[in-house]
Amino acid sequence: MHPQIQPFFDEFTNTISYVVRDPESTACAIVDPVLDFDPASARTDTKSADAVIDYVESHGLDCQWILETHVHADHLSAAPYIRERLGGQLAIGSRISLTQETFGPIFNAGQDLASDGSQFDHLFEDGDQFSVGALSARAIHTPGHTPACMTYLIGDAAFVGDTLFMPDFGTARADFPGGDARTLYRSIRKIYALAPETRLFMCHDYLPEGRTEHRWETTVGEQRRGNVHMRDDVTEDEFVAMREARDSQLGMPKLILPSIQVNIRAGRMPPAEDNGTVYLKLPVNVLGTPHSPEEAGPRTQ
């Protein structure tokens, strides 16, 4: 079945969120919603999330699922805010516990962060079936970028998170804690095993040299023929060598520290301290290696 898909592009983080509609009912799912965050002032805003909410409400839709493809390192999730307004089950892959176990100590989260995924309403295992109205859907575990990455196949549309980018931009980095280039290669092969006409929807789009308009939809066939990092003829060892060399030159995403500590909590802020204020931590000299300022740019690729 062919779901109706409405994208929402956030220019600050180059993130695309989606409303996925069942054409036979009012049922919908929301994928990877964004909470606006200004790193200079540490102020949040709900403008991006409100645009999604306005679309759902104005079309009389029933939100059944809020789907996170993974714990994002480049934007804060608006999932709790949207669930409060629209309802629906907040879901992610069950390996979220590994991400929580990895990053909880980095932020010294202590007892306020249970490392069991209980912050989410539903945890998907690889191959789990679910539905959005009359649309059949399947959760596919596609780790490598992070241990918990999921691809959601809804009808003939797959939402791949950061595992893949548009064919002219390539694939996700695999050097975050818990990431692995060889695992990423095998996950991409799982996506490539879907029918060639399967529509693929990206979580991000950056503009490579020679392209001036953002794009976020492609197909399995187009990726297999033309992905600049991983065409059909690229071997696992070739991909791993390329990916590890490329990753060694990348700095950290600009919002990784606020994003991770919020998103491992299912989009909730850390508990307020005794003065009533919420604080986000900046662990010093923990993540990544030093890079020069002129290397600023996309950091998930």
- What confidence tens digit (pLDDT) does each residue in 90-128 have? 999 999 999 999 999 999 887 788 899 999 999 999 999
**Alpha carbons 186 and 183: distance in angstroms, whole number:** 5
State the virtual CA torsion across 196, 186, 248, 245 in degrees, nearest 10.
-80
> How far is the CA of 80 from the CAs of 35, 154, 225, in angstroms?
10, 22, 39
Q: State the CB neighbour count (10 A cutoff) for residue 231.
A: 13
Tell me what pLDDT residue 297 has: 45
Is pLDDT at 64 greater than 80 in this prediction? yes
Domains of the chain, with CATH numbers?
4-295 (3.60.15.10)
pLDDT at res. 289: 64
Percent of the chain having pLDDT more than 90? 88
Cite the DSSP H helix spans in the chain.
Answer: 47-58, 79-86, 96-106, 181-192, 220-226, 236-247, 256-263
CA dihedral of residues 40, 42, 47, 50 (deg, nearest 10): 160
What pLDDT is attached to residue 290? Answer: 55
Predicted model pTM: 0.94
* Paired sense of beta strands 122-124 and 89-93, if any: parallel
Residue with tokens 């600023």: 296
Condensed to tens digits (0 to 9), the pLDDT of residues 17-54 reads 999 999 999 999 999 999 999 999 999 999 999 999 99
The pLDDT tens digits of the residues spanning 263-292 come to 999 999 999 999 999 999 999 988 766 554
